[in-house]
Structure 1
Amino acid sequence: MVRVGILGASGYGGAELLRLLKGHPGVELVGFSSRKYEGKALSAAWPQLWDERLFLPQEEVVGRAEVVFLALPNGLAMGLVPEILRAGKRAIDLSGDFRLPPEVYEAWYGIPHKSPGLYQEAVYGLPELHRAELREARLVANPGCYVTAATLALAPLAAEGVLKGAFVVGLSGVSGAGREGEGTFFAEVNENLKPYKVGGTHRHIPEMELNLGRLLAQGHTPRTHGARGEVRLSFTPHLVPMIRGILVTAEAEVEGAWDQGKLDALYRGFYAGEPFVRVLEDLPQTKGTLGSNRADLKPLYEGRTGRVLVFAALDNLVKGMAGQAVQNLNLMLGFPEDTALPKEGLWP
Structure 2
Amino acid sequence: TLAWNGEEAGRIEGRVIAGRMSAGQRLSMPAPVGVVAALTAWNFPAVLATRKLGAALASGCTAVLKAAEATPATAAEVVRALTDAGVPRGVVSLVFGDPAAVSEQLIGAPEVRAVTFTGSTAVGRIVAGHAAKGPKRTVLELGGHAPVIVDADGDVGLAISATLPAKFGSAGQSCVAPTRYYVHESRFDDFAARFIEAVRALRTGAFTEDGVNVGPVIDDGRVAALERLTADAVARGARLCCGGRRVERPGSFFAPTVLADVPEDSDILREEPFGPVAVINRFSDLDEAITQANRTDYAFAAYVFTDSLNTRQRVIEELEASNVGINQMAPSLPDAPLGGMRASGVGYEGGRDGIAAFQHLRLISETAA
Q: Structure 1 length as normaliser, TM-score?
A: 0.39
Q: Identify the structure with bigger relative contact order (alpha carbons < 8 Å, sequence gap 6+).
A: 2
Instruction: Tell me which structure has the larger Cα radius of gyration.
Output: 2
Task: Give the TM-score taking structure 2 as reference length.
Answer: 0.37
